[in-house]
Structure 1
């Protein structure tokens, strides 16, 4: 990972945003995928725009995208793209979706971007460096116990019956719970406005970009067993602004 990769991530975010903005709160085509989640022409246009850049500038790197699948996924360096994380929010005209861009090296997330193209908010995280929001460093906030934590999750429909039971134990213990938000919640953790995000059923393109962002701001991201997140992680994710919360949450989830 180097400064050229970071500059490339910004170019990818610019291209995705330029593809998305003309469709926001305007007519567009939409269909349901096999899992019944929505996909719009904005999703596809944004991923296609990013892939064109990668094909030209990084032809030997791998690419994994939500809409167009995987090319060279076993490469040492892989770009992971989610053109619109939070498509339901996009469809409803809610500007809390985001484009997610990650770079994995040997399966480990080393660079991540959350780009909200309507509000023009961009979080950038690089392993070993401070996370920034629109160029300014951001930090998570202290929260010593789950009982003090402001918790967020996208929605109950993403959990299995067993994982929902486990999540409910944390929800009851937490100070309060915010529903909805997708990747935007993780940006709010990094910026010190939320304390905790817990989710199940995420794919690599849903969480890879978030790890360097949360951790570069002073937080921590782990799976439900407390393990480090990587390309083969199952998609049960904890993001904590205060690293002290991870052990507590893992214990409550059981």
Structure 2
């Protein structure tokens, strides 16, 4: 089965989101819910849970282990809590406002994470998902040529690697709120910065660029060429 944008949707996507919705409806009945598969459940609350049951469905379908479940809480439209659970990688990342960013591997103790200290773009590692959807202004080419190392780790993983300090810049040009709401608190609590390509709030801009913070002002002009 595919969505109107031709991305795949599986029974697992729908079943996972349905389960999350049932739990949230029981535990937080007054909160709104926005999910990739079933849309929005509106209430009068300023609290909204944002769900992507399987981020990286194409990977999931093909047996590539880079996929995850994304859960976020926004208050007045601002992401304040994020959870990224990647069972095929045996990893989980999470953060809450003013509580730091954390990760845990299966069987290990939780570990606080932080971004890198790289401050020159020419020394930076850059990761993205793929070349599809980028503006025809040469932004991807400019980022590739301006950075030291380029990899397409893809989807949530690019951004979690920024939060861990293994990658310095990550960017994706076309995202829904469910694709990035959970990522933003983790990146920010790790000491990084996450915005839309124009520098505004990512959730309103439909794109996401994440950096260690030190590089953000160097990256944004390359996205506006």
TM-score range, shorter chain: over 0.9
Q: Secondary structure at the match of 2:209?
A: strand
Are 2:74 and 2:81, in contact at CA under 8 Å, matched by a contact in 1?
yes
From 179, 183, 188, the counterpart of 2:152 = 179
Are 1:113 and 1:122, in contact at CA under 8 Å, matched by a contact in 2?
yes
Paired residue for 1:140? Answer: 115
- Bigger fraction of residues in helix: 1
Q: Secondary structure at the match of 1:168?
A: helix
Find the aligned partners of 1:244 and 1:192 in 2 and give their Cα distance. 12
Q: Does 1:236 align with 2:207?
A: yes
Which structure 1 residue ranges, 4+ long, deviate > 4 Å from structure 2?
none
Q: Does 1:227 align with 2:200?
A: yes
Q: Secondary structure at the match of 2:9?
A: strand
Unaligned runs of 5+ in 2: 105-109
Q: Secondary structure at the match of 1:244?
A: coil
From 168, 177, 191, the counterpart of 1:218 = 191
Q: Secondary structure at the match of 1:143?
A: coil
From 54, 57, 76, the counterpart of 2:24 = 54
Paired residue for 1:6? Answer: none
Are 1:226 and 1:247, in contact at CA under 8 Å, matched by a contact in 2?
no
Q: Secondary structure at the match of 1:38?
A: coil
Q: Kindly state the Cα deviation for residue 74 of structure 1 after the two structures are TM-superposed.
A: 6.0
Q: Kindly state the Cα deviation for residue 46 of structure 1 after the two structures are TM-superposed.
A: 0.8
Unaligned runs of 5+ in 1: 1-30
Are 1:97 and 1:181, in contact at CA under 8 Å, matched by a contact in 2?
no
Q: Secondary structure at the match of 1:123?
A: strand
Paired residue for 1:206? Answer: 179
Q: Does 1:104 align with 2:74?
A: yes
Find the aligned partners of 1:54 and 1:211 in 2 and give their Cα distance. 21
Find the aligned partners of 2:6 and 2:136 in 1 and give their Cα distance. 19
Are 1:130 and 1:137, in contact at CA under 8 Å, matched by a contact in 2?
yes
TM-score (structure 2 length as normaliser): 0.93
TM-score (structure 1 length as normaliser): 0.83
Q: How many residues align?
A: 219
Superposed, which structure 2 residues align to 1:36-115 within 5 Å? 36-72=6-42, 75-115=45-85
Q: Secondary structure at the match of 1:141?
A: coil
Q: Secondary structure at the match of 1:32?
A: coil
Q: Does 1:169 align with 2:139?
A: no
Paired residue for 1:16? Answer: none
Find the aligned partners of 1:73 and 1:35 in 2 and give their Cα distance. 28
Paired residue for 2:107? Answer: none
